[in-house]
Chains A and B, each alone.
Chain A
Amino acid sequence: MDLSIILILLAALIVIVIPVTIYNRLVRNRNQIDNAFGAIDAMLKKRYDLLPNLVETVKRYAAHESQTLTQLTGLRAGKGYQELDPTAKAGFDREFTAAARSFFALAENYPDLKASENFLQLQRTLNETEEQLSAARRTYNAAVTEYNNSAQTFPSSLIAGLFGFGPRKVLEIPQEERATPDLKKMFDN
């Protein structure tokens, strides 16, 4: 083969094939983040749908515990999860943990509530949802880390800069007491 043809092919590889591959990888990584965020959203919805059960259980076993009741009904505010805007979703994520904690604290004073099948079922479902939510957050963070690694390391950082692939922030995995991550920003993206 002629040397000039080899050189042309080599140049084509450098100018077209490599940048396209890098660009596609960045897009794939970004889509992965969106996909992982979808999983968090789905889990938050599952958690949101548990609210009526929580309210019913409190009404049935500890109706005069108005504070917890208000806290729980306030979280739902008569809306479906899909109707919430990003700020409300983030707020719900933040406040739910506190509400759930006061619900479980309440059970300590009501043996009937604590022993009821309803309560045990709720407790298991909540544990499950929290565990899955935590898994979804960890998946999101893994996707963000992979994307950031691509967007910030050479040579893919050149393509990232050119096409506006800015860095994303990882979520802080909330400890029990710690406030929840800033989900609003994520929803706004």
Chain B
Amino acid sequence: MSDELVEKLHAAVRPQCEAFEAQRATYRRQVVRTSLALVAVAAAGSLLFDDLLIYGLCALTGAGIVIAVVAGIRSSRLTGYYKTAIMPEIVARICPGATYSPDEGIPYAMFAGSDLFRTPDRYSSEDMIAGTIGLTKFQFSEVQAEEKIVTHTKNGTQTRWQDIFRGFLFIADFNKDFRGRTTLTPRGPLGALFGGSDRVKLENPEFMKRFDIRSTDQVEARYILSPSLMERLVALSDKYGRGLRVSFTRSLIVVAIPSGTDHYEASVWRSITSHKALQRDILSILNLTAIVDELNMNTRIWSKR
């Protein structure tokens, strides 16, 4: 089903994609020409100097930097086009009424409120898609949360940034009302060896194999995690891998899906059609919006409407 749908969506944005590819070809030509000219000047210039090797290397490095900057500027223009002309069209077709805001993201308070991760030193979020499927309001965006690692060695202090989480954060209105907080995190190799009063033991062994469940309210955790929802979450975890984390807080469900790639970006060097970049972005939106149905969030037979 999804192959057919991806093909259909592809066809819907074909004119924009063709315009994109034409622009990309022009930019790429410009970058290549600039590069060749710079390299030629650098090579010719270096012949005038005695110390050919050192001058040549410096000139080539300089040329390389200029080329990278020019290509970067051109790529960001292409990304701008991709985000304003192609992405909104795809989002609107997948989920009518939904909006795509490239510069907006999930607020930090929501990330922190999910209680799924350690406190980061740096947080950023962009490419927000928000809308309603059936009765369920949802929003998701790319999130990067990092911590600062400072190491002291003989050669001085080194600082690097390490990901706490990089991927999509999907937030939706859940179909039941609840007051406490219940979190599902991947079960570690030691399992539930170190218990705690907030740990919840449930009846579904497949579910228990995948998740470490903690809750501020034992009864509420079971009210949320009904036998059928546990089955659905097992299936979702199989689809996305073991890194999946889920939090239920303030009547919302927060699903964190790790992903290493930066989505919804364009480059002068990469065709959006032949390199499957567009297909990957379409699939990411299809899969994320499908969570609403996969977790049966539109059922409103409880007191929450």
Contact = CB atoms under 8 A, between A and B. Distances in A.
A1 B85 CA distance: 79
Nearest to B195: A146
B302 A128 contact: yes
Contacts of B301: 123-124, 127
Given A124-B302, A128-B302, A128-B303, A142 B201 contact: yes
A101 B18 CA distance: 61
B34 interface: no
B218 A36 contact: yes
A141 B200 CA distance: 12
Contacts of B302: 124, 127-128, 131
A171 to B, nearest CB: 12
A152 interface: no
Interface in A67-126: 123-125
B219 A139 contact: yes
A168 interface: no
Interface in B194-247: 200-203, 218-223, 226
Interface string A119-153: 00001110110011011101101100110000000
A132 B202 contact: no
A39 B217 CA distance: 11
A135 B222 contact: yes
Contacts of B305: 124
Contact of B218 (A127, A128, A139): A139
A134 B305 CA distance: 21
Interface string B248-268: 000000000000000000000
B219 A131 contact: no
Given A124-B303, A138-B203, A146-B201, A131 B218 contact: no
A135 B223 contact: yes
- Chain A interface mostly helix, strand, loop or mixed? helix
Contacts of B219: 36, 39, 132, 135-136, 139
Contact of A125 (B221, B223, B303): B303
Interface footprint category on B: 10 to 19
Contacts of B223: 131-132, 135
B260 to A, nearest CB: 37
A142 B303 CA distance: 26
A142 B202 contact: yes
B220 A135 contact: yes
Nearest to A32: B218
Contacts of A135: 219-223, 226
A142 B220 CA distance: 14
A36 B219 CA distance: 8
Contact of A138 (B222, B300, B303): B222
Find the residue from B203, B219, B221, B223 having the highest chain A CB count within 10 A.
B219
Interface string B282-305: 000000000000000000111101
B203 to A, nearest CB: 7
Interface string A14-48: 00000000000000000000001001000000000
A135 B226 CA distance: 8
B192 to A, nearest CB: 12
Contacts of A127: 301-303
Contacts of A125: 303
Contacts of B218: 36, 139, 142
A53 to B, nearest CB: 13
Nearest to A141: B203
Contacts of B222: 134-136, 138-139, 142
A82 B222 CA distance: 26
A166 B43 CA distance: 91
15 contacts: A124-B303, A127-B302, A128-B302, A131-B223, A132-B219, A132-B223, A135-B221, A135-B222, A135-B226, A139-B218, A139-B219, A139-B222, A141-B203, A142-B222, A145-B201
Q: Closest 10 A-B residue pairs measured CB to CB?
A: A135-B222, A135-B223, A128-B303, A128-B302, A138-B222, A127-B301, A139-B219, A39-B219, A124-B303, A139-B218
Interface of A: 36, 39, 123-125, 127-128, 131-132, 134-136, 138-139, 141-142, 145-146
Given A139-B222, A142-B200, 9 more contacts: A123-B301, A124-B305, A127-B301, A128-B303, A135-B219, A135-B220, A135-B222, A135-B226, A138-B202
